[in-house]
Amino acid sequence: MSATIGAPAPEFSLKDQNQQEVKLSDFRGKKRVVLVFYPLDWSPVCTKEHACLVNGMKQFDQLEAQVLGLSVDSAWSHKAYAEKMGIQYPLLADFQPRGAVAAKYGVYLEDKGITGRAISIIDRDGKLAWHKNYDIPVVPDITEVSQALAGVK
């Protein structure tokens, strides 16, 4: 099952790297959400992707968007990874049950036990406004994501 553009984005509540509960509904009416699905902390392509996000945070802040990273790693792995990478945005642990949130968005790769690489943009009303899947070895184009975000209310 995958989420549909224009439909309400699947709700979730997950712990971040600081053991804080983060709900999609927390941002409704306040900020757009850039939901970054990635396979695993510490992998080379994911590390490049997060470096691009960290370096591009000013763009997302100016566009009044909240970036949320999401993978099947534990909150403890996320904590160490965020500290090493200088990541200030929440990294959500889709850990137990493994990949449950990613599956709602159609990006959980059950045969591999990991989250696929994808980015979803959710508007202030909580609707899925943009979504793109990427091949695992491809670093998403952050400029493309920013441009898509700029077109979302």
**CA 149 – CA 138 distance, rounded (Å):** 20
Identify whether 52 is a catalytic site residue: no
**CA 153 – CA 144 distance, rounded (Å):** 17
CA dihedral 36→16→26→47, nearest 10 degrees, is: -20
Question: Residue 53: how many CB atoms within 10 A of its CB?
Answer: 23
**CA 90 – CA 22 distance, rounded (Å):** 8
Q: Which amino acid is at 141?
A: D
User: Which of these is catalytic: 36, 46, 68, 92?
Assistant: 46
Which residues belong to the active site?
A: 46
